[in-house]
Amino acid sequence: MVESIFIIIIGLSVGSFLNVVILRIQRGTSPWKGRSTCMACDKALAWNDLIPIVSYLALGGYCRYCKAKISFQYPLVEGATALLFFGAYSMVFPLSGNIHLFSGAELGDLFILLRNWVGIAVLIILFVYDLRWFLILDAIAIPAIIVVYLFNGIFFYHTPACVGLSLVSCVLSISLMNYLLAVVIGGGFFLIQYLISRGAWIGGGDIRLGAFMGAFLGFPQILIALFFAYMIGSLVALPLVFLKKKEMRSEIPFAPFLAIATVITLFWGESILQLYSSAFFHF
């Protein structure tokens, strides 16, 4: 119980920070410097205005000072981050009900948890930013490809796959060729569409996000993620296009679909693969 609460508090705090990052990238200011201010009246916010979700609920969704409406994005991002961080934690460290955090942790497990938390944070930023401002942030997506790739390398360094190898040769070895393959599939899938349509269907940002999904999920999980992205995308986009509410692609941000599909695959990709192989290969 204590363990769960602690992880949820970490998730809420990171979610609150992600809101700051999203807002300040949009305004072009540093996320590390300066106090958070109200978007409407610019008044510096007090510590008790910044408690995730609680402040929003206590103030009924309005600024304490000028009564301007606060975007629903804030509690939503905080809540989603907490939920997904908790899910990612319990996936690596099954909850035992004791108060020892990271109980029985191997160093490799910690890096997988860290990779999952970083990956989830990246996806949340890209999701919100593309939804609101129709742009996939290269400044986030490109470094994220390298970071999750290295986390995977350090994880494999602590598994039998890399016994006797140096860290560098482990990162370059067979177990990580899998992730390289996934990067090529994820990025290449969108690159081909980009080239065929001369940038009409797909933006350059989608290519970078596809590569990130590959580095994060590996192969064959990347295939599942791309499949789900198109399923969800079609379910949401086609009605909008038919109702003439949106032009095909031009107005529909794709990062949210890719982010949701990546999270589904992160949590359930393994089970889906097992289901698939038992359905088709064991008669």
Q: How far is the CB of 45 from Zn ion (least distance, A)?
A: 9
For 3, list phi and psi in degrees, rounded to 5: -60, -50
Q: How far is the CB of 72 from Zn ion (least distance, A)?
A: 16
Beta carbon nearer to Zn ion, 24 or 43: 43
Beta carbon nearer to Zn ion, 45 or 181: 45
Q: How far is the CB of 64 from Zn ion (least distance, A)?
A: 7
Rounded-to-integer distance, Cα 234 and Cα 265, Å: 18
Contacts with 32 (C-beta within 8 Å, 6 or more apart), sequence order = none
Give the residue, chosen from 10, 38, 50, 172, that forms a contact with Zn ion under the rule CB under 5 A.
Answer: 38
Does residue 45 belong to the site contacting Zn ion (CB under 5 A)? no
Does residue 65 belong to the site contacting Zn ion (CB under 5 A)? yes
Q: How far is the CB of 65 from Zn ion (least distance, A)?
A: 5
Does residue 66 belong to the site contacting Zn ion (CB under 5 A)? yes
Does residue 40 belong to the site contacting Zn ion (CB under 5 A)? yes
Does residue 63 belong to the site contacting Zn ion (CB under 5 A)? yes
> Which range touches Zn ion (CB under 5 A), out of 9-17, 62-70, 115-123, 202-210?
62-70
Closest CA to 155 of 209, 104, 216, 97: 216
Give residue 149's identity as a one-letter amino acid code: Y
Peptide bond into 143 cis (omega under 30): no
HEC string of 74-106 equals HHHHHHHHHHHHHHHHHHHCCCCCCCCCCCCCC
Q: How far is the CB of 25 from Zn ion (least distance, A)?
A: 21
Beta carbon nearer to Zn ion, 38 or 273: 38
Closest CA to 49 of 68, 62, 32, 31: 62
Give residue 282's identity as a one-letter amino acid code: H
> Which range touches Zn ion (CB under 5 A), out of 21-29, 63-71, 100-108, 139-147?
63-71
Distance of CA 112 to the CA centre of its chain: 14
Does residue 46 belong to the site contacting Zn ion (CB under 5 A)? no
Tokens 């589904």 sit on residue: 264
Q: How many residues bind Zn ion (CB under 5 A)?
A: 7
Does residue 36 belong to the site contacting Zn ion (CB under 5 A)? no
CB atoms closer than 10 angstroms to residue 133? 13
Does residue 91 belong to the site contacting Zn ion (CB under 5 A)? no
Q: How far is the CB of 69 from Zn ion (least distance, A)?
A: 10
Rounded-to-integer distance, Cα 128 and Cα 209, Å: 14
Does residue 50 belong to the site contacting Zn ion (CB under 5 A)? no
Query: Can you tell me whether residue 64 is helix, strand or coil?
Result: coil
Question: Which residues of this chain interact with Zn ion, rule CB under 5 A?
Answer: 38, 40-41, 63, 65-66, 68
